[in-house]
Structure 1
């Protein structure tokens, strides 16, 4: 998928345990989001994910285990912030998941909690639910 630089992109981590999905909440916000973040200039998806998870949760992603899970997109005109794409990967990690920097807390959500996440994250919840990964 080619980014024409008019579409903001986030690289996100999909971590499922016991039929629940890891989400995080930023200080000062009510909504929860999949951990990850925006790509810095010249970064690959794996470099972005490794950096962001280290910054947000103090864990080390193993880039050799990354597997694309889903890409969610909000097209132009459907958001006040313009078009948005979130590229989601599952990957193994080392280390305990400890919220850091802008992350106030981590939580484990079931599909029934999807109303507590952002619009684009809800699209990922739906995709995981439809393929049986998030009952």
Structure 2
């Protein structure tokens, strides 16, 4: 006896699982960035925050690749892949303004990155099939 795949089981494809995992890792990494940013002002240096920035580049890049793959393989919508590519690009802009004089751009940029990343994470669990 065979059964057709239900929408619930089709949402566990490797690409979908990967997108969801990477979206959660991106948001968790941004939380880490917010926590470790205080070290820049208390003399702790950029150590943990700088390492987190590198990890953020990697995770958002992989998320963008996963969403582009989802678009190409499963015919998913264009906007999540486009937003993920923009978020990935913005991580480099963020890094370039990461010094104390650049905080006028860096802090609002962090809010934009967080908004885009949380949006993608929520979408990946609520709408991604």
**TM-score range normalised by the length of the shorter chain:** under 0.3
Report the TM-score, using the length of structure 2 for normalisation.
0.25
Report the TM-score, using the length of structure 1 for normalisation.
0.25
Q: Per residue, is there more helix in 1 or in 2?
A: 2
Larger Rg belongs to: 2
Q: Per residue, is there more strand in 1 or in 2?
A: 1
